[in-house]
Amino acid sequence: MKRSVTAVILLALALALGGCGWLDRKLDDKRDWQAEDWYRAAKEELDSGGWLAAVKIYGELESRFPFGRYAQQAQLDTAYAYYKEGDTAQSIAAIDRFIKAYPNHQNLDYALYLKALANFREDLGMLPTVLGRQDLADRDPKAARESFEMFKELVARFPDSRYADDALARMNHLVDALARHELHVARYYLRRGAWLSAVNRAQDIVVRFPDSPERREALEILVEGYDRMGMPDLRDDAKKVLAANYPQDAMAAEGRNRKSWWQFW
């Protein structure tokens, strides 16, 4: 009888210990996860808007399984998560790391597109809504220039990319914004009598943004700037270009070389 009771107790202890082990494995089942499991968990966080939680899980995935398609996609998804979180610096850093590691990756067009968006510093969404939020001409143009170059590279290297059309639309907007910025600065210099600086800015618009609506006023600034500096040949050359493209412009008329710029401020 005693022997039977002992056996029962031992069996109960074995089951209890086995149960505890099973419970521990359930609580710590991630130790058995494969790359696909980590990626699925991170993607669930990403799809639900848990950007930083997704970044953390993607980091675990990369540290445990640094090679393979899941690790590669994790880098791109990490960049996107940082972008959505508003941390554009971290987003760009993640993209640069991806491009350096996989320069011929099949999703390189997306990487370039996302990097351009990060520099563009606008939320993803419908283009008219996005572009209407802020006049980029009033901001530091450095990021806009970098964004433009990224969109340009994307379109040049991947003209058939699904992102090409949107990139072109954003490039057109950025061109106008950069031209407006240069025009603001040219007006500033003209108002303060810094003729050479005004001319240089206006010339930059004419050369770099020939299809921009700001080209007309840039030519007017060239006419006045050269006139103020006593350079009649260059003034007349600028006036000829102005008259050929905008014959109705008042500054194209003979003898009209200056304009009242106070109205623009």
- What are the pLDDT digits (tens) for 78-103? 999 999 999 999 999 999 999 999 99
Asked whether the CA dihedral 28, 29, 35, 38 is positive or negative, the reply is negative
Assigned token pair, 140: 């530091």
Tokens for 199, please give them.
Answer: 């001319």
Q: What is d(CA 18, CA 75) in angstroms, rounded to the nearest whole number?
A: 40
Say if 29 falls within a structural domain.
no
Q: What is the CATH number of the domain that holds 94?
A: 1.25.40.10
Average pLDDT over residues 168-179: 89
Q: What is the pLDDT of residue 3?
A: 55
Band (pLDDT 50/70/90 cuts) for residue 176 is confident
Asked if the structure places residue 89 within a domain, the reply is yes
Domain contains 85: yes
Q: Is residue 7 part of a domain?
A: no
Q: Which residue, chain included where needed, has tokens 């031209």?
A: 179
Is 133 a domain residue? no
Domain limits at 58? Answer: 35-103
Element holding 57 (H helix, E strand): helix 51-64
Q: Is residue 52 part of a domain?
A: yes
Residue 75 counted as domain residue: yes
Q: How many domains does the chain have?
A: 1
Distance of CA 200 to the CA centre of its chain: 28
Compute the distance between CA of residue 181 and CA of residue 141 in angstroms, rounded to an integer. 7
Phi-psi group of 230: left, alpha or beta (phi > 0 → left; psi -120 to 50 → alpha; rest → beta): left
| Structure confidence by residue, pLDDT tens digits, 223-235 | 999 999 999 999 9
pLDDT attached to residue 144: 83
Q: What percent of the chain has pLDDT over 90?
A: 63
Q: For residues 131 and 152, which has the higher predicted lDDT (pLDDT)? A: 152
